[in-house]
Chains A and B, each alone.
Chain A
Amino acid sequence: MVHGALQLVHTGIKGSERSTAPGGFLLTIERGTAVHPPSASSTFEAGVKGEPALVVRHLTKRFGDRTAYADVSFEVAHGEVFGFLGPNGAGKTTTVRTLGTLIVPSSGTAIVAGIPLSAENGVEIRQRIGIMPENPGLYDRLSVTENLEYFAALYGFRDAHVRINDALDAVNLADRAQDLCGGLSKGLRQRVGLARTLMSDPQIMFLDEPTSGLDPVAALEVHALINSLRAKGVTIFLTTHRLDEAEKLCDRVAILNTKLRTVGRPADLRAQLFHNTLQVRTRTPLANPGAFFATLASINEWHSNEPGTYELEVADVKSAAPDIVRGLVGEGADVISVGESAHSLEDVYLALIDDDGNGTAP
C-alpha cells in the first residue's frame, strides 16, 4: 500500500498542471523538493548533546490482562519537539499519563526533566512539566482568569498575575480574560488550556492533540506557538493523530502500537522504509519502455500502472532525474512531468501500522 505526495523535481518540459494521479498520488506541479523535514533548531541540536529531557527505558503498563504499552524506550532531547503517534488504543495517552506521574508503570524506568520517575518524586516532576490533555478541562462557571488563577495558586506562583497575563497574551486571549469558560468555543477552550500549561513555564510540555477541533487558522496559531516554544528551548512531547502536523512540527517522531514501532526523524524513517522513486509521465506511451529504461544506468527498476506513466526506482533522485529527462527528450518523448514520489510520514505510519495487522492495539 503506497500513499504519498508527488512533487515535481524539474519543470518546464511541457508546461504545468495539477491533477490527482492514480494510486492516490497528488501531483503538484511546482518547483520544490520533497516533503520538508522539520528543521532542527539550534536549540534542539544543543540539547541533543546534553542530558536528555526525557529518558524512557523499557517502560510497560498493564491493566490486569490488558497491556496498554510494552517495553517502550526512547529519549527526548532538550528543546526537541517529539511527536508521539499511533492509532487509538495504542497506549499514547497512557504513556503520557505515566510520564506525568498520574499512572504508575508496571515495569521499566524513566527520567522526566532530570528526575527519576517515582511516586515519591511526583510533586517535583509535576512542578517541572506541563500536561495539556485533549480535553482542556476547564471550570465552566469560572472565568478564563479565574481558571488560571486557580492553577497558579496550585503551583504556588507569587507572580501569578504576570504569568497569567503573559500566558493569555501568548495565546491571544487577553481580550477574553473575563469571559466565563462555559461560553467559549472549543478552539478558545483549547487556547485557555494551552495558556494554563504555559503559565507554569514547564521544562517539558506534554500536548495531547492540541489542535483537535480547531479551525485551520487556530491550528496554525497553535503551530506557531509550538515553534516559538521550541525556539525558547521548551521540550515538547506532542501526541497527535494529525500526521501532517507531526511532519511539520516534530524533529523526531515515535510510532507506538502498544509496542514502539519506530523512532526517528521523519525523513530518516521515510528513507528507511521506502526507495527513491521518480514518476515520469509522457504524452504518449513509450514504444518500448523496457529497452529504453535498460539503457539508463541510474534506474534500478521500473514499472507502469497505466500507459504513459512510469514509476522508476533510482538510487539518487537528483542525479537520475536530469539523465532520465535528457534520455526521454532524446528518444523523442513528450514529457509532461517528472516528479519524485515523496513519501509522507503518513506512508511511514501506515506501513508500520499495517504490519501490525488491523491498525489497532490488541
Chain B
Amino acid sequence: MNTFSSARLMAVIRKEMRDYRRKRSIVVTMLILPFMFLIEPVVAIFVVPASSGVSDPRNYVILPVLYLLLIPSIMPSTLAAFTVVGEREQGTLEPLLTTPISQQEFIAGKGAAVLIPTMALTYGVYGLFLLAVEVFAKSVVSSAIFGQGSLLVALILMAPLLASWSIAVGMAVSVRATEIRVAQQLGALASIPPVLLILILAVGVIHPTLAVALIFSIILLGVDVRAIRIVAKMMNRERLVTGSKPSR
C-alpha cells in the first residue's frame, strides 16, 4: 500500500505552481533574479577586444558564462526554504500530512515544484544568452563559446545538479527552522559552495575542460544524492508536525 503515487506527486506540483502564480511577488522575484545574472555575460560578449589582439577569447567570456551557473545555485534556495516552514506557519502542513501522501511523494513534489521553474528559467536565460552570442557577438567570442564543449556542458549539465543541491539544503533548513525569514536566510547559504566552485573555475585554479566539467558533475550528483537522502531522513512526519527531533 506504500507505493509511490505519481498522481499525488503531480497534485503537489500543480498546487505549488498554482500558488506561485497567485503570488505576484514570487513571480517577479523569480523573473528578475535570472535576468540580472544575464546582464554581465551579455555585456561581456560586447567588450571583448577586436580579434587581432586577443590571444584567448575564453579568458574574457569564461567568468561571465560561468556566472550564469549562479542562477540555479541561488534562485531555488528561497523557494525551497519556504516549503516546510511556510506550510507549518500557515497551518497547512498538518492537514496535508493527515492525507495518504507519503514522505517521498511530499519531498519529490515539493522539490520538483521548485526545480521545474528554476530549470525553465535557467535554460530560458541560457537560451537568450546563446541567442545574443549568435546574433551579436564577434566571431572569436562566438566560436570560443560554441566551439568549447566544456562550457556548454558545464552550463547544461551542472545547472540541475546545482539547483538540486540548493533545493536539498533549502528544504533541510526549512524542516528545522521555526520561522520563514530565518529559513530563507539560512537557505541562501546553500549557494556558497557552488559560488566557490565557480570562482575556482573562473580564476583558473582548475582549468575548465570537458573532463573537469564531467568530473564535477559526477561529484555533484553524488553530493546531491547524499543530500536528498539526508533530507528524506529528516522529513519525518513527527518532526514536520512538532518541529523537533522525534523521540521515543
Residues of A within 8 A of B (CB): 62-64, 97, 100-104, 106, 120-124, 126-127, 129-133, 135-142, 146, 150-151, 153-156, 193, 196, 200
The answer on a CB contact under 8 Å between A123 and B100 is yes
The answer on a CB contact under 8 Å between A139 and B100 is no
> In this complex, what residue of B is CB-closest to A103?
B238
B231-248 interface bits toward A, Cβ cutoff 8 Å, 1 = contact, 0 = none: 000000110011010111
Residues of A within 8 A of B244 (CB): 63
Is residue B32 contacting chain A, with contact meaning CB distance below 8 A? no
The answer on a CB contact under 8 Å between A63 and B98 is no
The answer on a CB contact under 8 Å between A155 and B91 is no
Contacts A124-B100, A133-B91 known; 9 new A-B pairs at CB < 8 A: A63-B247, A101-B237, A103-B237, A104-B246, A122-B237, A123-B2, A131-B98, A135-B91, A137-B91
> In this complex, what residue of B is CB-closest to A200?
B99
> In this complex, what residue of A is CB-closest to B241?
A102
Chain B residues bordering chain A, tally (CB within 8 A)? 35
Residues of A within 8 A of B94 (CB): 97, 102, 131, 133, 135, 137
Residues of B within 8 A of A136 (CB): 91, 95
Residues of B189-248 whose CB lies within 8 A of A: 237-238, 241-242, 244, 246-248
> In this complex, what residue of A is CB-closest to B88?
A137
Could you list some 15 contacts between A and B, CB below 8 A?
A: A102-B97, A103-B237, A103-B241, A121-B1, A123-B102, A124-B1, A126-B100, A129-B98, A131-B94, A133-B94, A136-B91, A151-B95, A156-B5, A196-B95, A200-B99
Q: Assuming A133-B91, A137-B91, A154-B8, is B98 touching A100 (CB within 8 A)?
A: yes
The answer on a CB contact under 8 Å between A155 and B99 is yes
Residues of A within 8 A of B55 (CB): none
With A and B bound together, what is the CA distance between A76 and B238 in angstroms?
24
The 5 A-B pairs of least Cβ separation, nearest first, read A153-B11, A141-B22, A137-B91, A135-B91, A154-B99
With A and B bound together, what is the CA distance between A101 and B11 in angstroms?
22
Which interface residue of B12, B19, B100, B237 has the most chain A CB atoms within 10 A?
B100
Set B5, B14, B242: member contacting A103, Cβ < 8 A: B242
> In this complex, what residue of A is CB-closest to B21?
A141
Residues of B within 8 A of A155 (CB): 99-100
The answer on a CB contact under 8 Å between A126 and B98 is yes
Which interface residue of B90, B95, B237 has the most chain A CB atoms within 10 A?
B95
Q: Assuming A103-B241, A156-B5, is B23 touching A141 (CB within 8 A)?
A: yes
With A and B bound together, what is the CA distance between A193 and B92 in angstroms?
11
Set A62, A123, A138, A200: member contacting B92, Cβ < 8 A: A138
Which interface residue of A120, A126, A132 has the most chain B CB atoms within 10 A?
A126
The answer on a CB contact under 8 Å between A137 and B90 is yes
Smallest CB separation, B143 vs chain A (Å): 48
Is residue B181 contacting chain A, with contact meaning CB distance below 8 A? no
Q: Assuming A150-B15, A153-B11, A154-B99, is B92 touching A137 (CB within 8 A)?
A: yes
The answer on a CB contact under 8 Å between A141 and B19 is yes
B1-30 interface bits toward A, Cβ cutoff 8 Å, 1 = contact, 0 = none: 110010110111011001100110000000
Is residue B157 contacting chain A, with contact meaning CB distance below 8 A? no
The answer on a CB contact under 8 Å between A142 and B95 is no
With A and B bound together, what is the CA distance between A155 and B242 in angstroms?
23
